[in-house]
Amino acid sequence: MKVLMLIVDGMADRSVSGKTPLDSAKTTNLDFLAEKGINGIMDTIAPGIRPGSDTAHLAILGYDPLKYYTGRGPIEACGAGIEVKPGDIAFRVNFGTVEGKGCVFDKVVVDRRAGRIQDKQVLVEAVNREVRIDGVEFILGNASGHRAALVFRGENLSDRITDSDPKKVGEKVKRVKALDSEAEFTAKIVNEFIERSHEVLDSHPFNEERAKHGMLKANVLLLRGVGKAVHVPSFEDRYGMKMAVIAGTTLIKGIGRLLKADVIENERFTGSRDTDLELKVKTAVESLETHDFVLLHIKAPDEFGHDGDFEGKKEFIEKIDSAIKPLTELDFSKVCLVVLADHTTPVSVKDHTADPVPLTIVCEGVRSDEVEKFSEFHAYRGGLCRIRGMDLMNIVLDLIGKAKKYGA
Ligand code: ZN
Ligand code: ZN
């Protein structure tokens, strides 16, 4: 038996005058699945703990975030296509714009996204080619928009250092500081990298050309989210199942690569509201032919939650609902379908909260319950009651006959 897991990012919400976007949306297909399956609510990490999307996905896939999550940097680096190794330190990077005189740390950040630059591959290549730092290797990986990821590899590297990104315009680039004496070497080489890369970027013909046309130079790399990579067992080693990930966002692709899954790329999977939902669903169903476990991730409802847009979130959930029609037609004697959100992103809060998320599991033989609607207000009455994210894979493995017996 195979598994298709649909994770809708931030789909769950809190009550606004007794309603949530999911509860007020017309969701014929999700409701059909809820009626057919077993339902419940889930604390992705633990009751009262507000999850990030990265820690949430790790827990849902049965990887204890307390053990495997060492910051966003390593996951973003995997997402940017860098092969991260244990001991590496990795950062999330923004291409930004600095102006002023002196060295990079005397200059002021005027834009943290370099005018939302897109086509920066040539700059990434120039930094990788032209910057040399004694005693350490580095890899700068390109990601979408103004984003990138950076990995340092070498002896005695430490992630006990601060960010260089001031996270505000009008402030100077921050010199990276060591948080303990063992991190002093790392802080020194990272600062050196920030200076050298600024010199290369600031004088690069691509940026000179941008400046000539009145555009902002992408002349600084702003570093944050540092983490030291640890060994993470692959999904296949752990569960004996070959995994495919269908996602648009770098973060979720990064989780997939971290677990050595096949990340199925398509430029129409944007990780935003303009994504091609029908194509994603079709790709997920097709991937069941070649893979044992397919993770289908849809991002946009989280964005509407962060924007505080109730109607937008509701309408997008309805779009998802009509796009997933093919999932209702799966052969549930061969496929176990799991539908859930990774966390709650209430429009009233505009950020993630710890409220549990609804989930449904559909497969042949599952003890279906009386829940007939996929919604925060109905799911808790289901047969799964209230579980944690780390329980989900065990429950799924048991349903598909792959769980090991504990005892005789
Ligand atoms: Zn999320
Ligand atoms: Zn979010």
**Tokens 């539908």 -> residue:** 339
Asked whether the beta carbons of 261 and 290 are under 8 A apart, the reply is no
Tell how far the Cα of 226 is from the centroid of ligand 2, in angstroms. 19
Longest alpha-carbon distance in the chain: 75
> CA 350, 303, 259 angle in degrees (round to 5)?
115
Which ligand is nearest the CA of 303, by number? Answer: 2
Could you tell me where the DSSP H helices lie in 181-290?
A: 184-202, 205-212, 235-239, 250-258, 277-290
Output the CA 251–ligand 1 centroid distance in Å: 10
Ligand 2 centre and the CA of 250: distance in Å? 13
Question: Residue 249: nearest ligand to its CA?
Answer: 1
**Residue list, CB under 5 A from ion ligand 2:** 302
- Give SS3 for 105: helix
Q: How far apart are the first and last CA of the chain?
A: 24
- 301 CA from centroid of ligand 2 (Å): 9
Give the Å distance between the CA of 303 and the centre of ligand 1. 9
Distance of CA 344 from the midpoint of ligand 1 (Å): 8
Query: The tokens 């000539």 sit on which residue?
Result: 212
Q: 140 in helix, strand or coil?
A: strand
* Burial group, residue 401, by CB count within 10 angstroms (0-12, 13-18, 19+): exposed
Tokens of 112: 């943290």
127 CA to middle of ligand 1, Å? 32
Q: How far apart are CA 360 and CA 328, in angstroms?
A: 13
Q: Is the dihedral of CA 81, 87, 92, 95 positive or negative?
A: negative
Whose atoms come closest to the Cα of 57: which ligand? 1
| Residue 352 Cα to ligand 1 middle (Å) | 8
CB-CB contact of 196 with 220 (8 Å): no
Taking the centre of ligand 2 as the mean of its atom positions, its distance from the CA of residue 152, in whole angstroms, is: 27
Per-residue pLDDT of the chain (408 residues; tens, 9 = 90+): 999 999 999 999 999 999 999 999 999 999 999 999 999 999 999 999 999 999 999 999 999 999 999 999 999 999 999 999 999 999 999 999 999 999 999 999 999 999 989 899 999 999 999 999 998 999 999 998 899 999 999 999 999 999 999 999 999 999 999 999 999 999 999 999 999 999 999 999 999 999 999 999 999 999 999 999 999 999 999 999 999 999 999 899 999 999 999 999 999 998 899 999 999 999 999 999 999 999 999 999 999 999 999 999 999 999 999 999 999 999 999 999 999 999 999 999 999 999 999 999 999 999 999 999 999 999 999 999 999 999 999 999 999 999 999 999
Joined together, the tokens standing for residue 61 give: 């896939």
Distance 306 CA to ligand 2 centre (A): 6
- Quote the CA–CA distance of 78 and 58 in Å, as a whole number: 14
pLDDT value of residue 144: 84
63-97 exposure pattern, b = at least 16 Cβ within 10 A, e = fewer: bebeebbbbbbbbbbbbbbbebeeebbbbbbbbbb
**CA 8–ligand 2 middle distance (angstroms):** 11
> Are the C-beta atoms of 133 and 121 separated by less than 8 Å?
no
Distance from the alpha carbon of residue 105 to the mean position of ligand 2, in angstroms? 31
Looking up tokens 């677990």 gives 259
Q: How far apart are CA 333 and CA 262, in angstroms?
A: 25
CA of 384 to the centre of ligand 1 (A): 22
Question: What is the residue whose two structure tokens read 């509201």?
Answer: 273
- The structure tokens listed for 190 are 């990272």
Q: Which ligand number lies closest to the CA of residue 53?
A: 1
Return the ligand number nearest the Cα of 55: 1
Place of tokens 């690069």: 204
Which ligand neighbours the alpha carbon of 341 most closely?
1
d(CA 318, CA 14): 18
373 C-alpha to center of ligand 1: Å?
22
Ligand index nearest the alpha carbon of residue 10: 1
Predicted pLDDT at 58: 98
SS (H, E, C) 297-348: EECHHHHHHHHCCHHHHHHHHHHHHHHCHHHHCCCCCCEEEEEEECCECCCC
CA of 357 to the centre of ligand 2 (A): 14
pTM check: above 0.75: yes
Kindly report the CA angle at 301 between 300 and 304, in degrees rounded to 5? Answer: 90
CB under 8 Å to 149, separation ≥6 — which residues?
73, 76, 77, 79, 80, 82, 90, 91, 92, 93, 140, 141, 143, 250
